[in-house]
Structure 1
């Protein structure tokens, strides 16, 4: 049947890229929370690269908020890891606690974004940080 051509809307393509990014972020987030299950930083960088490249394509759509959400999640987590790195050098347990909390926060943000993406809903303005 020659007339059975699948028409992929730009919105569908963005959603596919968004899901790929969310899944990569999720793998990294779970790896950060589970001891001994560290995922590669390369996965995080690939996901972040996808988000930066596709963010302009998503401008003006409900999905733009998801690309920004994921970028901000990574940048904030990275900053928090850097700011608390000294705890590892001076005190092992407080460093572990701080990084565990940051990792749980990152996992929460990724899961929250995935739930909203699944419902085809943008991230809300109150969800800035």
Structure 2
């Protein structure tokens, strides 16, 4: 186990951000649980603001969460027309994107708990 390169406050911020992302991810795959957009914006702002305060393995987690949110947003936007023309493919695409998002957040949490960097 490696020691953190930053103080405990940045580690706490990482955990808070991951928990917010996890709530968003679970609510995205749970029927009727669409509480996520506001929490996602809060988590993204936290990550963007605090990213400059960290270095080393911890910094990889901030970049990882930011990239995950941006990629999910792009994928949701690209597949948005499927909802207007074909309901089932839109539902399927968004379901798969949400599962991918959940997987990435859980992966990041596992790596953060082990104090390891997140690599693709």
- Equivalent residue pairs, number: 116
> Which residues of structure 2 form unaligned runs of 5+?
none
SS, match of residue 89 in structure 2: helix
Name the TM-score, length of structure 1 as normaliser: 0.87
| Structure 2 residue 103 is matched with structure 1 residue 98 | no
Q: Which has the higher contact order (CA 8 A, sep 6+)?
A: 2
Name the TM-score, length of structure 2 as normaliser: 0.93
Q: Give the number of the structure whose residues are more often helix, by fraction.
A: 2
SS, match of residue 19 in structure 2: helix
Aligned CA-pair RMSD: 1.1
Matched residue, 2:34? 38
> Which residues of structure 1 form unaligned runs of 5+?
1-8
| Structure 2 residue 107 is matched with structure 1 residue 119 | no
User: Highest CA radius of gyration, 1 or 2?
Assistant: 1
| Structure 2 residue 9 is matched with structure 1 residue 13 | yes
Matched residue, 1:3? none
